[in-house]
Amino acid sequence: MESRAAPRQSQVLGRARLFAAALLAFVAGSSLSPAAADARTIRLVALGDSLTAGYGLAPEEAFPAALERALREKGWDVAVANAGVSGDTASAGAARVDWSVPDGTDGVILELGANDALRGLDPAGTETALRQILDRLKTRNIPVLIAGMYAPRSLGADYYGKFDAIYPRLAAEYGADLYPFFLDGIAGEARLNLQDGMHPTAEGVRTIVARILPTVESFLRRIQPPS
C-alpha cells in the first residue's frame, strides 16, 4: 500500500540499495559450499508492495523476516527474501518480476494488488498484470503461493465483486496455492495497524504470519515433499 506522504528521495535510494544488497546475498546463497548445499535450504521470494516490504517497520519486523523465523522455529530450513516495494501496483510488479526473482528461487509468495484497489484501478488490468507475473514464473518452473487481497467495500459491490474474484480464479487456472486475504485478522483492527490505518504494526505482521503459516507450510511440502 501507499503512504499518504511521498518518501524522500534519499529514503527511496536507501531502500533500493538495501533491496539490491538483499537480492545479491540471496543469489550468493545458491553457490555455497557442497556441505551447505546438501542442507537444501528452500529459497522463497516474497514479491509484493509495502505490506511485504514492511513500511514503517525495522527490516527484521517485516513480513518476510517474520515468516522466515516462524518457519525455522517449525523446523524448516528456509530463507525468505524481501522483494517488496512500497507503492507497487500489480503492473509495477510485473515490470520487475524477472530481476526481483533471481535464479535459484524455489517458490514465490505473490502479494500484489492492494494499491490497485486503493486507486480504484480497473480489476481487468490488475488481473492482466498478475497473469503476466504468473506466466513468467510458470515459464521458469517456479511455483507460486498467491496471497489474495480484498478491495475496500466503499468502492461498491460491483467493483469489489470483480476485484475479489481475481485471486481464486488465477489460483485455479495456474494451479497455484492460495491464501485468500493477506490482511485476514488485522484489517480494521486499529491496534494492529500503524496510524495510517493501512499498514500493519510489528504485532500485526506477527498476526499475519501466524494465520498464513499453515498455508505456507503446505506450499513448502509441495516444493520439497518429505523424503
- Any domain includes 170: yes
Q: What is the pLDDT of residue 9?
A: 43
- Any domain includes 203: yes
Q: 196 catalytic, yes or no?
A: yes
Q: What is the total count of domains within the chain?
A: 1
- Any domain includes 85: yes
Distance of CA 138 to the CA centre of its chain: 17
Q: What is the pLDDT of residue 19?
A: 52
- Any domain includes 2: no
Catalytic residue among 49, 86, 164, 199: 199
Q: What is the pLDDT of residue 179?
A: 98
Q: What is the pLDDT of residue 37?
A: 39
Q: 184 catalytic, yes or no?
A: no
Tens digits of residue pLDDT in 28-37: 444 433 333 3
Q: What is the pLDDT of residue 2?
A: 52
Whole-number Å distance between alpha carbons of 131 and 203: 32
- Any domain includes 25: yes
Specify whether the CB–CB gap between 217 and 192 falls below 8 A. Answer: no
Domain range enclosing 145: 9-223
Q: Which amino acid is at 195?
A: Q
Torsion of Cα atoms, 144 then 42 then 12 then 167, to 10° = 10
Residues 6+ away with beta carbon under 8 Å from 62: 52, 53, 54, 82, 84, 205
Catalytic residue among 49, 50, 106, 164: 50
pLDDT at 5 over 70: no
- Any domain includes 4: no
Q: Please report which confidence band the pLDDT of residue 167 belongs to, taking 50, 70 and 90 as the band edges.
A: very high
Q: What is the pLDDT of residue 23?
A: 53
CA distances from 107 to 20, 103, 129, 223 (A): 19, 11, 19, 7
Catalytic residue among 77, 135, 196, 218: 196
Strand partners, 145: 109, 177
Q: What is the pLDDT of residue 225?
A: 78
- Any domain includes 147: yes
How many helices (H) does the chain have, and how many strands (E)?
10, 5
Q: Please report which confidence band the pLDDT of residue 45 belongs to, taking 50, 70 and 90 as the band edges.
A: very high
- Any domain includes 1: no
Q: 86 catalytic, yes or no?
A: no
What average pLDDT is seen over the chain? 88
The CATH number of residue 199's host domain is 3.40.50.1110
